[in-house]
Amino acid sequence: MKITDFIQKETIIPALESQDKKSVLLELSEPVAKVSNVNHNEIVKVLLDREQLGSTGIGGGIGIPHGKLKDLETLTIGFGLSKNGVDFESIDGFPTHIFFMIMTPENSTGLHLKLLAQISKMLRNDIFKVKLQQAMSVDEIYEIIAQEDENF
Q: Which residues are catalytic?
A: 66
CA–CA gap between residue 90 and residue 13 (Å, rounded): 20
CB distance 81 to 62 below 8 Å: no
CA–CA gap between residue 142 and residue 56 (Å, rounded): 22
Q: Is 131 exposed, middle or buried (0-12, 13-18, 19+ CB in 10 A)?
A: middle
H or E element in which residue 81 lies:
strand 76-86
> Can you say how many angstroms the Cα of residue 73 is from the centroid of all Cα atoms in its chain?
18
